[in-house]
Copies of this chain bind each other. A is one copy, B any other.
Amino acid sequence: MPKAKFETIYKDLKEKIEKEEYTFQDLLPSENTLVDIYSCSRNTVRRAIALLAEAGYVQSQHGKGVRVIYQPTPQTAFTIGGIESFHESAIRNHKIPFTKVIQFAEIHTDNRIAQKTGFPLGSEIYYIQRVRYLDDTPLIFDINIFLKSEVPGLTEEICRHSIYDYIENTLHMHIVTSKRQIKVQKSTEIDEEYLDLTDYHVLAVVTSQTYNANGVQFEYTESRHHPDYFCFHDTATRKHI
């Protein structure tokens, strides 16, 4: 729910672009015109435009205007991008998600896990393994490690549904920053057991470290994706600094 004015304007313009009210290669109304439309200051309009640019919807051109560079994508594969839970992605892609919990353990970090996750040695953690299905096809083998001190009260039942939903709506913790890495790795026995990899023997592996609003890293996750259904997308802007 946007309450800030600039978020409302962002959302409104974004919808207009998606509905092709402003279409590809059009110029948006000038900033001063938008000031009149939304009765706000130019700064506020500019914040909204900055968000649109970051999301790859528009591009500002000095002296000319703000050009729309959004083109509707042919919703095919299951795409990821941004910080999004599996459930959220599934809904956005119009698919039915299902989660099977393979392991749910409460343990302490040993040397290997501390190294890998960046959590202090000996921290209390939840160690979770899950298989994610979309329309009955196993897509992802997920390994989630949560700091128990930051995410208390996690249960196997919650893991069957959405952990992010629990974190945000029950614990009221704000997820802010996520650092991600994408690699290609050879499959392990456990990958082969749960994902139907056929003649592939590799996976796309997304590891992420997520920080909450207190700047504490509370999560380390390794998402091991079936190569056929892995599609990551993002929009980058060139910084001249």
Contact = CB atoms under 8 A, between A and B. Distances in A.
A171 interface: no
A42 to B, nearest CB: 13
Contact of A238 (B54, B83, B236): B83
A95 interface: no
A16 interface: no
A104 interface: no
Interface in A185-241: 185, 200, 202-204, 211, 213-215, 217, 227-228, 230-241
A59 interface: yes
Contact of A178 (B83, B204, B236): B236
Given A7-B241, A238-B83, A239-B82, A233 B181 contact: yes
Given A59-B211, A200-B202, A241-B7, A232 B181 contact: yes
Given A83-B237, A183-B232, 8 more contacts: A7-B241, A59-B211, A69-B177, A82-B236, A178-B235, A179-B233, A180-B235, A202-B227
